[in-house]
Amino acid sequence: MYNFKDSWSEVDMSRRYDSRTTIFSPEGRLYQVEYAMEAIGNAGSAIGILSKDGVVLVGEKKVTSKLLQTSTSTEKMYKIDDHVACAVAGIMSDANILINTARVQAQRYTYAYQEPMPVEQLVQSLCDTKQGYTQFGGLRPFGVSFLFAGWDKNFGFQLYMSDPSGNYGGWKAAAIGANNQAAQSMLKQDYKDDITREEAVQLALKVLSKTMDSTSLTSDKLELAEVFSSPSGNVKYQVCSPETLTKLLVKFGVTQPAAEAT
């Protein structure tokens, strides 16, 4: 005889695992964290590549409506401190909160110790905040992933990736956002350990051109930023201008000059 009570209790239990952010399912999963990762999978792609003389970040700007006013500031790239920057994929309002938190932490460290905050220590501190939102009731995970690019005197240039669970790891090349699996497999094939910054830019643009939803790459759909050492020896964060980005796209054969002119 069919037991309706048992059937209803199973449905009810599955809903509880699904709606509570802090309860593991019987399979050992946190569904809300997985849903946050799904939200990131629908966001514009971002790629980070570590080279021997710097770190390159490239992001895809998703134009949701032609009626929107074009933003004068960057949408995907953010400076945290003079020696650290990040690329973002996911819910931007969530990202803004975490970026402000990271900036405050970096400034407090500099004020206390009179030197820049080590990159991994900054990333770990921010990921501790993200992890707390998966453990305490009444909160939801941040729906955003980051690529952190930075330099410190201990380990030189570094690239880190973090996700909504609070996990992070150091990478030589990484991709977040839409089609990140395809981008990651291409990076695995083409990345070389002794890659230069210019070659890293070329590789990032090539990967993005093949994994983006758009049929053609143009400067208004992309953002490119670099963290590198200036000739004076200082670490510099620089966002590539649309004009320079257009020239790079043509130089590396990603787009044709005639296509850009039309």
Q: What does the pLDDT look like over 229-258, one tens digit per residue?
A: 988 889 999 999 989 999 999 988 776 665
Q: Is residue 194 scored above 60 in pLDDT?
A: yes
Give the start-to-end residue ranges of the domains of the chain.
Answer: 43-261
Model confidence band, residue 24 (pLDDT cutoffs 50, 70, 90): confident
At 159-177, the pLDDT tens digits run: 999 999 999 999 999 999 9
Q: Which fold has domain 43-261?
A: Glutamine Phosphoribosylpyrophosphate, subunit 1, domain 1 (3.60.20)
Q: Check residues 25 and 128 and name the one with the higher pLDDT.
A: 128
Mean pLDDT of the chain: 88
What pLDDT does 13 receive? 52
At 47-103, the pLDDT tens digits run: 999 999 999 999 998 776 778 777 667 789 999 999 999 999 999 999 999 999 999
Q: Considering the entire predicted model, what is its pTM?
A: 0.88
What does the alpha-carbon distance between residue 177 and residue 59 come to, in Å, rounded to a whole number?
9
What does the alpha-carbon distance between residue 57 and residue 49 come to, in Å, rounded to a whole number?
7
Return all residues near 132 (Cβ < 8 A) that are at least 6 apart.
Answer: 139, 166
What pLDDT does 218 receive? 84
Strand partners, 56: 49, 226
